[in-house]
Structure 1
Amino acid sequence: MAEVYGSDRPRRRRGRTLRVVVLTLLVFLLVGVVVLDRFSNSYAENVLAEKVATEVANQKAESSRPIVTIAGVPFLTQVLAGKYEEIRIELPDFKAQTGTGETVRMDLLDIRARNVTAPLSALRGGGDVVAGSVTGTGTINYQLLAEATGQKDLKLAEKDGKLVGSGVLAVTQTQEIPLTAAAELKVTDGKVQVRFSDVNTPGLTVNPLIQGQVDAFIEQMAFELDVPKLPLNLVIQELQPLPEGLRVTFGASDVNLAAAGV
């Protein structure tokens, strides 16, 4: 009996050793696949960042180095399927000139391309890479926005969710009065139009003569700002006054990223 049990132990040890070896190989294989997936993802993001930088320059705009993030894990399955959940493109310190020479600045232009279709053949041969929708958001500082209008005495701010303009009206050579007015925002033919109404002149008794001066001053406060040409055919969809600045939302649909330089 002792010899029978003794002959069985080496087999059990060999079986356990084999399982350990197989599990170790599987772990190494899994780690290798994960590393390859992340490396491929990082490589693709860097390539896209270079192409986006070229596209920004082609639009006569400026930014710090673009940051590209391809969402979704694993990355390689998206490559094989030719479909990507989302590609995020961040353009820090974005600057672009309007057609009339003003410079529009944003600390960050944040672009999201969703439902991207990019077959392997397109990636290899430079074919169409189409995003079902592209959205972008950026915030323009109120002081920079006022400066871009060329009106040095105009001040802009947010109050109760609305854009408010303020200035100082010289009623006479010795009397100046502060006034504020709510802004009406509108986008027409590639221009942001700002008109003011609901004027508030605290502490001032308005007579017909002064009212005429106020009305003329409010008309002078109005301004238009050209929208600069943006990457990926983005156009303005919404303007939202926030405490930190004017939030601008851009959008486009069925954008050929390859044709746009990406």
Structure 2
Amino acid sequence: MRVARTVLIVVVILGGLFVAADRVAVHLAETKAAKQAQLTEGLTARPKVSIEGFPFLTQAATGKLDDVKVTADDINAGDGGQSLRIESFHADLHGVKLSHGYSRAVADSADGLAFITFADLTKAAPDGITVSYAGVSKDGKALVKLSGSIPGIGSRISVLSEISVHGGNAIGLHARPLPTAFTALGLDDDIRQQIDFIRQLTHLPAGIALTSVTATPDGISVAAAGQHVVLAS
């Protein structure tokens, strides 16, 4: 009986040491992956990387992690001088293959969600235009309201615009029928050239593509998904 109890105590101690070693190892791996992801995507702030599942050491020994969660905040996603800020981005990566001492990580598949506030959409819009929540159309399209004064027109305007994904890497606003006060004057093209716009979402993991947009009272949520998604390289 005493031998059995001694063996049990040893097993418990070794198990505790293994768990402690496993948690230390996963913390180091998360930190290294986060640093490399920041470098890979050119982010100003380091993202948070969380490696799910236990034990980590067993997964690491096979060179593949079951699930990894990534959170990044305050991403400057503009391109070509056109600024657009993403307030937050969350991604779940599945089947993440590790190589080069954890400096390279590629997921079999991933899905994510980027959130952009209306304040940041307004900053990305043409000068003088404010973007705000307008609900959902009868055909399920996310709607925003554009209001303000358009340079060269001289009058204030308030229109509903559909917001949607373009080409898998950008979002675009397209105004619904313009007020007759402007169409009657033949100003459709002039106005649309200023209030219809597309902005790219850069600095997201390579291999992930935007799939849909949902409007909320606080901003827009942009869903993304992909295969062979590069977390770090």
Report 1:48-197 matches (<5 A). Answer: 48-57=33-42, 61-62=43-44, 64-99=45-80, 101-118=81-98, 122-124=99-101, 129-160=105-136, 162-168=142-148, 179-188=158-167, 190-197=169-176
TM-score by length of 1: 0.72
Q: State how far apart, in whole Å, the 1-side matches of 2:100 and 2:17 are.
A: 24
Q: Identity percentage over the alignment?
A: 22
The residue that corresponds to 1:7 in the other structure is: none
Asked which structure has the greater CA Rg, the reply is: 1
Between 24-33 and 151-160, the greater mean CA deviation after superposition: 151-160
User: In structure 2, do the counterparts of structure 1 residues 217 and 88 end up closer, same or farther at CA, with 3 Å as the change threshold?
Assistant: same
- Structure 1 gaps, min length 5: 1-14
Q: State how far apart, in whole Å, the 1-side matches of 2:223 and 2:57 are.
A: 32
Return the offset for 1:133: 1.1
Could you say what secondary structure the match of 1:22 adopts?
Answer: helix
What's the Cα RMSD here?
A: 3.1
Return the offset for 1:45: 0.8
The question of 1:241 aligning with 2:222 is answered no
1:147-188 deviation digits (Å, cap 9, x = unpaired): 212332333324136322232579xx9x96663324253404
Compare the two structures and name the one with the higher strand fraction: 2
User: In structure 2, do the counterparts of structure 1 residues 237 and 158 end up closer, same or farther at CA, with 3 Å as the change threshold?
Assistant: same
User: In structure 2, do the counterparts of structure 1 residues 34 and 19 end up closer, same or farther at CA, with 3 Å as the change threshold?
Assistant: same
Q: State how far apart, in whole Å, the 2-side matches of 1:108 and 1:41 are.
A: 24
Return the offset for 1:70: 0.4
Q: State how far apart, in whole Å, the 1-side matches of 2:93 and 2:24 are.
A: 22
Q: Is the 8 A contact 1:104 1:228 kept in 2?
A: no
User: In structure 2, do the counterparts of structure 1 residues 254 and 210 end up closer, same or farther at CA, with 3 Å as the change threshold?
Assistant: closer
The residue that corresponds to 2:201 in the other structure is: 227
Could you say what secondary structure the match of 2:53 adopts?
Answer: coil
The residue that corresponds to 2:224 in the other structure is: 250
The one-letter code sitting in structure 2 at the alignment partner of 1:23 is L
TM-score by length of 2: 0.80
Task: From 22, 25, 32, give the equivalent of 1:47.
Answer: 32
Q: Is the 8 A contact 1:186 1:194 kept in 2?
A: no
Q: Is the 8 A contact 1:98 1:229 kept in 2?
A: no
Q: Is the 8 A contact 2:173 2:198 kept in 1?
A: yes
The question of 1:212 aligning with 2:185 is answered yes
Between 238-247 and 190-199, the greater mean CA deviation after superposition: 190-199
The one-letter code sitting in structure 2 at the alignment partner of 1:212 is L
